[in-house]
């Protein structure tokens, strides 16, 4: 019998002499050469389509549906599974594309439309929520990674912020679990806020502008902000959406500052793979570049809408990938202190923005 040719690759069991593209640390180039990206990418795309269908026909939050459907498909990334490289690619590269394209909707006009007082309120609310999250995490015995992840997600733009922040945080033993929990938690809380906050604003007798600032400054996800705002009135919906875009615009500066701080503290050595991240993440630079180009009026409206749509689909596919990579039993193991932290940060942000909106009235 002829000995097996070591240069030939077994499609089922990759030869041990070459890089295994099914490993989490396999490079994108290795996975591409092996032709193994498409099964995982196809799965993530189908999950994103299913999540959007459920959202449009049953009113369920698309990002929450993408995460839950992904959790049910964890078996697709078990050792040796063909979908694993593509799922890893979606959770990393597709995620960064989605975050970068968010910049196409940001411009200086967004800030000027409501005045710099609203921008100052959003920045102060972000800083205060980060501080509250850090102190709350210490009081509850939670780690600093979870504090940054949850408070940044609550203060900026929910699940999208969680994905972007997790992309630059040093890896820890519970990183995947914490990310899935944060995405699930902020999306669920955002959905509840979409129903409760307009009622609260009405009970407090807030005017249209203050209501829009409150809804846009506190609800985590863009879709829920739009739903809550326009359920009150068209002027409230427009104000809430504009305020929400101001919060979205804070994502890139926050991630950039976090990256620089982590490098200064040499915490990047904790990262998986042992390689230091770039000084400035490429997707942050792309976000800022698109925001500058849009501020100069060089992006036609149709391009902005297309970039926003691609960004949303990319984020859905990335969240699906995060769900697929996470074992459901690890989500069940989330300690109650983490839940209390996320809920506390959400309530703190609501109180801070409510007080600020009253001062700006």
Among the listed residues 120, 173, 181, the one whose alpha carbon sits nearest the alpha carbon of residue 149:
181
Share of the chain above pLDDT 70, in %: 85
Q: Say how far apart CA 138 and CA 154 lie, in whole Å.
A: 18
The pTM of this model reads 0.77
Q: How confident is the model at residue 327 (pLDDT cuts 50, 70, 90)?
A: confident
Among the listed residues 286, 278, 285, 248, the one whose alpha carbon sits nearest the alpha carbon of residue 262:
278
* Overall average pLDDT of the 256-277 stretch: 65
Share of the chain above pLDDT 90, in %: 31
**pLDDT at 18 exceeding the cut of 50:** no
- Residue 96 is predicted with a pLDDT of 87
- Residue 15 is predicted with a pLDDT of 41
pLDDT tens-digit map of 22-37 = 444 444 455 454 467 8
Count of C-beta atoms within a 10 Å radius of residue 117: 12
Q: Say how far apart CA 72 and CA 333 lie, in whole Å.
A: 16
**pLDDT at 125 exceeding the cut of 90:** yes
pLDDT tens-digit map of 228-259 = 898 888 889 889 988 988 898 898 889 989 98
- Residue 29 is predicted with a pLDDT of 53
The secondary structure of 198-245 as a DSSP string is HHHHHHTT--HHHHHHHHHHH-SSHHHHHHHHHHH-HHHHHHHHHHHH
Detail the DSSP E strand segments found in the chain.
Answer: none
Among the listed residues 330, 271, 272, the one whose alpha carbon sits nearest the alpha carbon of residue 23:
272
Structure token pair of residue 113: 């439309």
List the single range of 230-234, 330-334, 338-342, 352-356 with lowest mean pLDDT: 330-334
Angle between helices 175-203 and 222-232 (to 10 degrees): 10
- Residue 351 is predicted with a pLDDT of 95
pLDDT tens-digit map of 44-102 = 999 999 999 998 888 778 888 888 898 889 888 876 678 888 898 998 889 889 888 88
- Residue 67 is predicted with a pLDDT of 86
The distance of Cα 339 from the centroid of its chain, to the nearest Å, equals 18
């Amino acid at each position: 019998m002829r000995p097996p040719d070591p240069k030939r690759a077994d499609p089922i069991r990759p030869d041990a002499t070459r890089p295994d593209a099914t490993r989490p640390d396999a490079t994108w180039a290795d996975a591409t050469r092996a032709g193994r990206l498409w099964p995982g990418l196809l799965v993530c795309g189908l999950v994103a389509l299913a999540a959007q269908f459920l959202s449009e026909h049953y009113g369920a939050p698309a990002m929450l549906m993408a995460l839950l459907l992904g959790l049910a498909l964890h078996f697709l990334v078990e050792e040796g599974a063909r979908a694993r490289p593509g799922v890893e690619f979606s959770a990393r590269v597709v995620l960064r594309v989605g975050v970068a394209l968010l910049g196409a909707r940001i411009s200086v006009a967004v800030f000027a439309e409501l005045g710099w007082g609203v921008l100052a309120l959003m920045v102060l609310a972000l800083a205060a929520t980060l501080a509250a999250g850090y102190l709350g995490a210490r009081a509850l015995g939670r780690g600093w990674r979870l504090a940054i992840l949850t408070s940044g997600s609550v203060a900026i733009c929910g699940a999208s912020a969680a994905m972007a922040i997790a992309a630059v945080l040093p890896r820890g033993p519970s990183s995947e679990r914490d990310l899935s929990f944060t995405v699930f938690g902020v999306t669920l809380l955002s959905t509840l806020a979409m129903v409760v906050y307009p009622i609260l604003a009405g009970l407090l007798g807030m005017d249209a502008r203050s209501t829009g600032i409150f809804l846009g400054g506190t609800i985590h996800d863009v879709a829920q902000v739009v739903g809550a705002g326009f359920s009150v009135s068209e002027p409230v919906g427009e104000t809430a959406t504009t305020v929400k875009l101001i919060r979205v615009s804070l994502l890139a500066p926050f991630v950039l500052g976090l990256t620089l701080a982590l490098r200064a503290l040499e915490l990047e050595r904790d990262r998986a793979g042992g390689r230091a991240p770039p000084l400035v993440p490429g997707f942050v630079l792309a976000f800022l570049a698109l925001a500058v180009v849009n501020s100069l009026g060089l992006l036609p409206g149709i391009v902005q809408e297309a970039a926003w749509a691609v960004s949303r689909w990319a984020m859905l596919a990335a969240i699906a990938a995060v769900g697929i990579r996470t074992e459901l039993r690890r989500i069940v193991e989330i300690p109650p202190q983490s839940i209390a932290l996320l809920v506390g940060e959400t309530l703190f942000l609501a109180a801070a923005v409510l007080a600020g909106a009253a001062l700006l009235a």
